């Protein structure tokens, strides 16, 4: 049985909230510390794979998530023609689409669902606490935050995403590497869009457009609101974009620059971006594989340890699985074994999915066959959490070999 009583979880995103909830399910107290002063609506949309939905089913949240999410579109269209407004259709293989079982959900809606469940279970969530320093003691770990406050627990789990402070403290030489890409996620209203475009998006079809190094996707992700859509722009940049010109640029200025830059493309693309109510610019980085996902009493999960390429759509699923699996391992084992198994059992799958994406991909050559191949690779992913099954191997089974 676990000897862990209290775990500090740093980060109130998908991985952190899932870990805290599952630790509670395992009979282990968890306290979540989030750097932001409060929960705010941010980002655009999450894709949750079949395996991520299995985690949600174990927690008891799958039906609620399904009520607030849409299946991945099986009908794709693009825009072009002389006016830049003609719609052309690209059917997807429905068998592959159904086997993937990905669902799309607004990021803020999903985080609110996870937050509500964690709080219902009595998990304490403390906002405005940005990690500054870690001090590992023989029997505990002490976290010091930038406001000078401290917290002590048996263990600490870093789940702050790709910019993880926890990772920088326990693996100071591990560096994110620019993946020669950028992406901008947005939420937009269909009101005011050209009627044929509006009708296709509201019925659940997905816009796909690519030209050179630029790719655009737009789709509906809220079954309760047909006028809300998510869009994504992705492109290449061999050199990292200065933050002042991208992440730190105010939304109005960035939208104006996007509108100007999209003028050579079909006008319906610019119309969607112009109708945005929320945008989230993100530079694409990858993290070279680490030899371990923990050091001492501190472990990493989610994007903090295996930053997922947005094109895979697996980041949320991995975060959900990591959160549940670390909780199961701590329920079953001493923390040294638990953290060992977290890495040993999971790192190959995370690395396999991410290395499937070519950092020098040419979106202008991304066609139907490429999409089919990509979906088939992702569909081969398998990991059984076995939450209800005890992780136990009696010695007599190891000795069960034929006598000479």
- In tens, the pLDDT along 205-260 reads 899 888 888 889 999 988 999 999 999 998 888 899 999 999 999 989 999 999 99
Residue 89: predicted pLDDT: 76
The alpha carbons of the chain give a radius of gyration, in whole angstroms, of 22
User: Tokens 């990905």 belong to which residue?
Assistant: 102
- The whole-angstrom separation of Cα 24 and Cα 323 is 12
Region 125-130 average pLDDT? 96
CA 306 to chain centre: 10
- pLDDT at position 393 over 80: no
What pLDDT does residue 98 have? 44
Q: Are 39 and 348 in contact (CB under 8 A)?
A: no
- Rounded CA-CA distance 259/275 in Å is 11
Q: What is the mean pLDDT of residues 36-46?
A: 73
Task: Give 91's strand partners.
Answer: 75
Across the range 338-358, mean pLDDT stands at 81
Q: Are 288 and 361 a contacting pair, CB within 8 Å?
A: no
Closest C-alpha to 169, from 306, 299, 338: 299
- Is residue 367 over pLDDT 50? no
Answer yes or no: is pLDDT of 17 > 70.
yes
Q: Is 96 helix (H, G, I), strand (E, B) or coil?
A: helix
- The pLDDT of residue 287 is above 90: no
The separation between the first and the last C-alpha atoms of the chain, rounded to the nearest angstrom, is 36
Give residue 386's pLDDT band: very low, low, confident or very high (50, 70, 90).
confident
Confidence tier at 110 by pLDDT (50, 70, 90): very high
* Predicted TM-score of the model (pTM): 0.89
Query: Is residue 49 over pLDDT 80?
Result: yes
Answer yes or no: is pLDDT of 337 > 50. yes
Contact call for residues 326 and 299 (beta carbons, < 8 A)? yes
Q: How far, rounded to the nearest angstrom, does the alpha carbon of residue 328 sit from its chain's CA centroid?
A: 21
pLDDT one-digit tens code per residue, 292-307 = 999 999 999 999 998 7
192 pLDDT more than 80: yes
* Structure-token pair, residue 51: 């395996």
198 closest CA partner among 346, 298, 79: 79
């Amino acid at each position: 049985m676990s000897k862990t009583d209290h775990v500090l979880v740093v980060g109130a995103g998908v991985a952190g909230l899932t870990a805290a909830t599952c630790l509670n399910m395992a009979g282990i107290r968890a306290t979540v510390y989030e750097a932001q002063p409060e929960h705010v609506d941010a980002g655009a949309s999450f894709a949750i794979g079949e395996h991520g939905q299995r985690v949600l089913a174990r927690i008891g949240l799958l039906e609620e998530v399904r009520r607030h999410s849409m299946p991945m579109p099986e009908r794709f269209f693009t825009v072009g023609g002389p006016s830049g407004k003609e719609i052309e259709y690209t059917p997807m293989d429905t068998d592959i689409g159904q086997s993937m079982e990905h669902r799309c959900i607004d990021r803020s809606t999903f985080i609110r669902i996870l937050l509500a469940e964690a709080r219902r279970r009595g998990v304490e969530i403390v906002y405005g606490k940005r990690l500054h320093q870690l001090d590992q003691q023989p029997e505990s770990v002490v976290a010091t935050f930038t406001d000078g406050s401290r917290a002590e627990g048996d263990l600490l789990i870093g789940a702050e995403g790709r910019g993880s402070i926890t990772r920088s403290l326990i693996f100071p030489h591990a560096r994110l590497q620019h993946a020669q890409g950028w992406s901008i996620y947005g939420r937009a209203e269909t009101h005011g869009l050209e009627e044929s475009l509006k009708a296709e998006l509201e019925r659940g079809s997905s816009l796909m457009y690519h030209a050179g190094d630029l790719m655009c996707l737009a789709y509906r992700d809220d079954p309760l609101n047909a006028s809300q859509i998510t869009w994504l722009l992705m492109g290449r940049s061999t050199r990292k974009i200065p933050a002042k010109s991208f992440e730190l640029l105010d939304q109005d200025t960035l939208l104006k620059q996007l509108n100007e830059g999209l003028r050579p493309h079909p006008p319906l693309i610019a119309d969607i971006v112009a109708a945005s109510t929320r945008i989230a610019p993100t530079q694409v980085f990858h993290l070279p594989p680490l030899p371990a996902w923990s050091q001492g009493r501190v472990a990493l999960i989610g994007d903090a340890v295996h930053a997922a390429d947005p094109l895979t759509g697996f980041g949320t699923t991995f975060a959900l699985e990591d959160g549940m699996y670390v909780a199961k391992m701590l329920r079953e084992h001493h923390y040294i074994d638990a953290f060992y198994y977290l890495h040993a059992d999971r790192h190959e799958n995370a690395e396999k999915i991410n290395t499937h994406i070519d950092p020098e991909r040419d979106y202008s050559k991304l066609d139907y066959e490429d999409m089919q191949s990509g979906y088939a690779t992702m569909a081969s992913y398998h990991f059984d959490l076995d939450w209800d099954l005890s992780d136990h191997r009696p010695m007599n089974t190891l000795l069960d070999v034929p006598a000479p």
